[in-house]
Chains A and B, each alone.
Chain A
Amino acid sequence: MTVDARMADVMRASYGRLLAILSSRTGDIIVAEDALSDAFAKALIHWPAGMPNNPEAWLLTVARNRLTDLARRNARLDFQAEVVAPEPEEPDGEDFPDERLKLLFVCAHPAIDPRIHTPLMLQTVLGLEAEVIARAFLLPQTTMAKRLVRAKRKIKDAGIAFQIPDPDSIAPRVSAVLEAIYGAFSRDWLGAGALAEEALYLSALLAELLPDDGEVLGLAALISYTLSREEARVQDGRFVPLEDQDPGLWNRDLLLRGQSYLERAQALGGLGRFQIEAAIQAVHADRMHTGVTNWNALLQLHLGLSRLAPTIGATVGYAAAVGKSIGAQEGLDALMRVEAKVRASFAPAEATRAHFLSELGQSQEAAAAYTQAIALTEEPPLRRYLEAKREALAAKLR
């Protein structure tokens, strides 16, 4: 492996670990980022002559020295005082504490605007450039960069500590971290700016750091299962619904990972939104062995999900399961419980309604609903799928 490739490897694996260590004491992420990028720049100069035995320890020592320099310079400006530099620590890579969990809690702290939780995590834990994050969030780069800086300043100025929250407040704080990771996962999942890989990494990291939390494991399972179908869900540029996908195209490793996370979550005995969503994925995955989709099991899970987390997405999922396991009319009835105005602005709701109407032989209305769904859809593979459905209806009408 070339030095460049090894450096890229170290960067990816170590960035968040090192940044968490460097910023946890002072709470100043901005200064820690500067020190870390300084260390990476020095590595580019020194490493081609020979990689250090422990690259991570090397980087940490260089970055810490840089932090000390900066602190001394600031101290001199402020007080003209002499500050004694601490002895550089013996590089001992085995004993690094992993402070990334604290960093995750800081990024999703309730004192920080929830809309910036996910971008902040992507930048500080994974080292993603503001430009890449801005693209995924459909924002100009300067806007995203400004928001990230503002959030980091708030973390320092407000004195948000790098610590594991108290037992009496940890549950909502874990939820916020999960929401932020889910935010990366659900971002434009068919588009060029997709962050699914990053979300998988973050969810696996959180599962490693909080192995006894059912919802943490549930989210890791959900993301693993969903990503296992990356290949299968777009064929010839067109979206393929889960129940029509070729299981031969599913990624076995990721399916097994999802299964293992879900089994561990279920062994803990709790119940939560992400676990149910992962369980729904698991039922679909079973088709690989049984050849059929168990719609009755899905109906129960979707019912549970829509009761636990009554979002429009959950209600539409439930209606779709009703339609498959009971009948199109019953599915349509369940869907009609969603307020008409809300339904007409949510593409999956209109697409599902179109499907039911078409099954019930109401082709005119079905075509109109597909047109509405297409108007609400931006991802080209999904649009092509919906357009093909509408075209098939039009052919029937002719």
Chain B
Amino acid sequence: MRYTFLTYSRPEDFANVPPEELGQLKGLFGAYIGALKEAGILVATDWLQPVSAATTVSDGGNRIQDGPFAETKETLGGYMTVEVADLDTAISWAKKCPMAKYGAVEIRPTAMEG
């Protein structure tokens, strides 16, 4: 079954993190993505720029605005789509995601199957 991990965090939590630690976090992420690839379960992934870089289109395309769709304290920072047997397997992989420590990982099953 296909699941997508949506990673959420508070940008303010990273504001005071020293650059070397941020670099470390990047390394952890790289290793994590590598592990997903090696297990043969990674379908797609991306790491996103902050919501300040977001543009939102709504109202049938009539409304285009600067900023995210919803102003929230926790923002979406990236996603990983994986193909695994079941939710328990997905949970065990999500637990290993670095963002499970720095924020939260939301697991969403695909709606394109069945």
Binding site for B on A (CB under 8 A): 109-111, 157-161, 163, 165-166, 169
B39: min CB distance to chain A, Å: 16
B2: min CB distance to chain A, Å: 9
How long is the Cα–Cα vector from A160 to B3 in the complex, in angstroms? Answer: 12
How long is the Cα–Cα vector from A266 to B90 in the complex, in angstroms? Answer: 37
Q: Are B85 and A161 in contact (CB under 8 A)?
A: yes
Q: Are A161 and B86 in contact (CB under 8 A)?
A: yes
Q: List 14 A-B contacts (CB under 8 A).
A: A111-B87, A157-B109, A158-B107, A159-B1, A159-B3, A159-B86, A159-B87, A160-B88, A161-B86, A161-B89, A163-B86, A166-B92, A169-B88, A169-B92
Interface residue tally of chain B, by bracket?
10 to 19
B4: min CB distance to chain A, Å: 12
A217: min CB distance to chain B, Å: 26
Which residues on B sit within 8 Å (CB–CB) of A157?
109
Give 1 or 0 for each of B67-86: 1 = CB within 8 Å of chain A CB.
00000000000000000011
Binding site for A on B (CB under 8 A): 1, 3, 85-92, 107, 109
Question: Which interface residue of B86, B92, B107 has the most chain A CB atoms within 10 A?
Answer: B86
Which residues on A sit within 8 Å (CB–CB) of B87?
109, 111, 158-161
Which residues on A sit within 8 Å (CB–CB) of B91?
110-111
Q: Are B109 and A165 in contact (CB under 8 A)?
A: no
Q: Are B85 and A158 in contact (CB under 8 A)?
A: no
Which residues on A sit within 8 Å (CB–CB) of B92?
166, 169
How long is the Cα–Cα vector from A160 to B87 in the complex, in angstroms? Answer: 5
A141: min CB distance to chain B, Å: 29
Contact among B1, B3, B88 with A163 in the assembled complex (CB-CB below 8 Å): B88
Which residues on B sit within 8 Å (CB–CB) of A110?
91
How long is the Cα–Cα vector from A109 to B87 in the complex, in angstroms? Answer: 10
How long is the Cα–Cα vector from A166 to B87 in the complex, in angstroms? Answer: 13
In chain A, what residue has the closest Cβ to B111?
Answer: A157
Q: Are B109 and A161 in contact (CB under 8 A)?
A: no
A312: min CB distance to chain B, Å: 31
B37: min CB distance to chain A, Å: 22
How long is the Cα–Cα vector from A165 to B88 in the complex, in angstroms? Answer: 8
Which residues on B sit within 8 Å (CB–CB) of A166?
88, 92
A169: min CB distance to chain B, Å: 8
How long is the Cα–Cα vector from A109 to B85 in the complex, in angstroms? Answer: 16
How long is the Cα–Cα vector from A111 to B90 in the complex, in angstroms? Answer: 12
How long is the Cα–Cα vector from A165 to B92 in the complex, in angstroms? Answer: 11
Which residues on B sit within 8 Å (CB–CB) of A111?
87, 91
Q: Which 4 A-B pairs have the closest CB atoms?
A: A161-B86, A159-B1, A160-B87, A159-B87
How long is the Cα–Cα vector from A166 to B85 in the complex, in angstroms? Answer: 14
How long is the Cα–Cα vector from A163 to B88 in the complex, in angstroms? Answer: 9
Question: Which interface residue of B86, B88, B90, B107 has the most chain A CB atoms within 10 A?
Answer: B88
